[in-house]
């Protein structure tokens, strides 16, 4: 078999067989195919696409390039959740303890942030002492005993994806829908959960800019999941504005704790309850109405907060943050920006918010960058809220006044105020089953 021939076939829209795709993935992972030839094939895929069958076969070949976890020892139906990423997206920190409090099992491997989109692992590591590096045995035992465990991706899971993603990042082929699907689903399938819920985002702060693009990706991932024998469902959600009031690692953890304590509630809460309900449905706990009620009760009763506290303690973190968020890292400086006129907030540009927080040190542009866990922004109002001149719009947190002022100037442009209330867009666009 020759790589040249496979490149030609993809360019000519001639489908590759399962055997050809497995050979291609295995040979590249083992170093038998040079980067320049794999880059050419990735570009051919980016330009010409793949069929659903090809995408499924590519995904399974990538899954099988390394280890696959066996979660059968957990002793119940396991459900994983994946978000395609967004500004202020901290739903895992709410959803995992809610589902666990309802008797579900959520074993989750998450990633670190790179660029303006934050990572769940960075948020958790802002909790003093919290360890995201556990052995497989510890990971399984904690999930079995507490119901949820979130750790960093580790071991020899999907080495093909690691190599291919690095190459895609260098060759402008990241935004290919079949390649995005194979990258995400190969990792989800390697983790081994019985059920997978996908939160596919669209908007200014997401990879997919329109709901139609998100629907194409969501449908493809669900098809691939089902082809692999998994229960799989996707929820398409809006990411044109940041999710929740806080953006920044410790700030987002503080917001989650506030919600679990019943002190605040916003669109983040509602979306997390909807996602938790879908995960419980997949877990066989009832229909969506019953599961939504179960999730609500777990939140309002404090049982979900107890699960978060137990997870933090089990992973060597300071569980007292659940009672006092001041124990989380705090920024040295803050700057508050107020409205200059009366009106309604008509938009908050997610990508600009993410880039402003990146400038504060809340994210990283390279893998070795150090994060300022206390940096970020807290919004006092959401899209659609009425404000008056002098009302606080947001507060910026950072290590110096100058950094805060630079971020504030960018954020002021990201928040638009108009004379009429904007049309409200539903948080959930569609559920793909």
pLDDT attached to residue 84: 86
User: What is the structure's pLDDT at 184?
Assistant: 93
Letter string b/e over residues 73-97, b meaning 16 or more CB atoms within 10 A of that residue's CB: ebebbbbbbbbbbbbbbbbbbbbbb
Report the percent of the chain where pLDDT is more than 90: 86
Indicate which CATH number applies to the domain containing 398: 3.90.1170.30
Same domain, 78 and 221: yes
pLDDT of residue 67: 93
Mean pLDDT of the chain: 94
Q: Which active-site residues does the annotation give?
A: 82, 161, 168, 183, 187
Both 151 and 277 in a single domain? yes
Rounded to an integer, the average pLDDT of 116-127 is 85
Confidence check: pLDDT of 7 > 90: yes
Least confident of 3-12, 73-82, 84-93, 142-151: 84-93
| Helices 267-282 & 91-101 angle (0-180, nearest 10) | 50
Structure confidence at residue 364 as a pLDDT band (50, 70, 90): confident
Q: Is 193 a residue whose pLDDT tops 70?
A: yes
What confidence score (pLDDT) does residue 174 get? 85
Task: For the chain, give the percent of residues with pLDDT over 70.
Answer: 98
Q: What is the pLDDT of residue 115?
A: 58
pLDDT at 35 over 80: yes
Predicted pLDDT at 294: 98
Please state, in angstroms and rounded to a whole number, the distance separating the CA atoms of residues 75 and 103: 12
The total of structural domains in the chain comes to 3
Question: Looking at the predicted structure, is the pLDDT value of residue 365 above 80?
Answer: no
Q: Which of 105-119, 209-223, 333-347 has the lowest mean pLDDT?
A: 105-119
333 lies in the same domain as 307: no
Average pLDDT for residues 345-363, to the nearest whole number? 92
Q: Measuring CA to CA, how many Å separate 350 from each of 88, 206, 249, 429?
A: 9, 8, 16, 18
CB 358 within 8 A of CB 369: no
Same domain, 200 and 167: yes
Q: Is residue 208 part of a domain?
A: yes
- 255 and 394 together in one domain: no
Same domain, 98 and 199: yes
How far does CA 317 lie from the centroid of its chain? 22
Same domain, 10 and 139: no
Same domain, 34 and 161: no
Q: Does the pLDDT at position 381 exceed 70?
A: yes
Report if residue 431 sits inside a domain.
no
**Based on the domain organization, do 88 and 161 belong to the same domain?**
yes
pLDDT at 373 over 80: yes
Residue 197 in any domain: the answer is: yes
Domain boundaries, position 8? 3-49
Query: Bridge-partner residues for 387, per DSSP?
Result: 343
Q: Of the ranges 140-154, 161-175, 214-228, 309-323, which one carries the lowest mean pLDDT score?
A: 161-175
**Domain CATH number, residue 222:** 3.40.1030.10
Tell me, yes or no, whether 119 lies in a domain: yes
Q: What is the pTM of this model?
A: 0.92
pLDDT for the residue numbered 370: 84
Mean pLDDT of the region 230-237: 96
**Distance between CA atoms of residues 21 and 144, nearest Å:** 36
pLDDT band at 363 (very low <50, low <70, confident <90, very high): confident
Q: Which of 72, 79, 122 is nearest to 98 (CA)?
A: 79
pLDDT over threshold 70, residue 287: yes
| Residues 95 and 259 sit within 8 Å (Cβ to Cβ) | no
Which of 277, 307, 322 is the last residue before a domain boundary? Answer: 322
Last residue of a domain, one of 322, 357, 384: 322
User: Span 300-323, mean pLDDT?
Assistant: 98
Is residue 367 scored above 70 in pLDDT?
no
Which H helix or E strand runs over 162?
Answer: helix 159-170
**Residues 159, 233: one domain?**
yes
Whether 54 is in a domain gets the answer no
- What pLDDT is attached to residue 285? 96
Looking at the structure, tell me whether residues 135 and 243 fall in a common domain. yes
- Is 248 a member of any domain? yes
Has residue 64 got a pLDDT over 90? yes
Kindly state whether residues 377 and 314 are assigned to the same domain: no
């Amino acid at each position: 078999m020759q790589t040249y021939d496979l490149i030609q076939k993809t360019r000519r829209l001639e489908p590759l067989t399962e055997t050809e795709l497995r050979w291609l993935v295995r040979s590249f992972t083992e170093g038998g195919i040079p980067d320049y030839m794999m880059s050419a094939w990735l570009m051919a895929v980016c330009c010409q696409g793949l069929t659903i069958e090809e995408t499924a076969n590519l995904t399974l070949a990538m899954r099988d390039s390394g280890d696959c976890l066996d979660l059968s020892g957990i002793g119940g139906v396991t459900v994983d959740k994946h978000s395609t990423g967004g500004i202020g997206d901290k739903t895992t920190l709410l959803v995992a303890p809610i589902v666990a409090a309802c008797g579900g099992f959520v074993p989750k491997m998450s990633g670190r942030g790179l660029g303006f989109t934050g990572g769940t692992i960075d948020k958790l590591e802002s909790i003093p002492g919290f360890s995201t590096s556990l052995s497989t045995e510890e990971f399984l035992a904690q999930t079995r005993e507490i119901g949820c465990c979130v750790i960093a991706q580790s071991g020899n899971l999907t080495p093909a994806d690691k190599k291919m993603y690095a190459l895609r990042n260098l060759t402008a082929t990241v935004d290919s829908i079949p390649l995005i699907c194979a990258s995400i689903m190969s990792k989800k399938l390697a983790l081994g959960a019985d059920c997978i819920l996908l939160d596919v985002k669209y908007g200014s702060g997401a990879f997919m800019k329109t709901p139609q693009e998100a629907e194409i990706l969501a449908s493809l991932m669900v098809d691939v999941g089902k082809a692999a024998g998994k229960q799989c469902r996707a929820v398409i959600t809006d990411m044109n504005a940041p999710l929740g009031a806080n953006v920044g690692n410790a700030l987002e953890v503080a917001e989650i704790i506030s919600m679990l304590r019943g002190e605040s509630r916003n669109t983040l809460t509602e979306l997390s309850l909807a996602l938790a309900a879908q995960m419980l449905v997949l877990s066989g706990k009832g229909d969506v109405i019953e599961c939504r009620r179960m999730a609500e009760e777990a939140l309002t009763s404090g049982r979900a907060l107890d699960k978060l506290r137990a997870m933090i303690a089990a992973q060597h973190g300071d569980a007292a943050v659940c009672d006092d968020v001041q124990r989380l890292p705090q920024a040295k400086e803050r700057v508050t920006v107020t409205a200059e006129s009366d009106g309604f907030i008509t938009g908050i540009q997610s990508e600009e918010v993410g880039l402003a927080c990146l400038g504060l040190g809340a994210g990283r542009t390279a893998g070795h960058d150090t994060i300022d866990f206390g940096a970020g922004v807290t919004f006092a109002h959401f899209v659609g809220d009425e404000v008056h001149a002098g009302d606080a719009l947001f507060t910026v947190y950072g290590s110096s006044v100058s950094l805060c002022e630079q971020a504030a100037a960018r954020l002021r442009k990201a928040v638009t105020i108009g004379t009429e209330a904007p049309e409200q867009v539903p948080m959930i666009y569609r559920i793909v089953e």
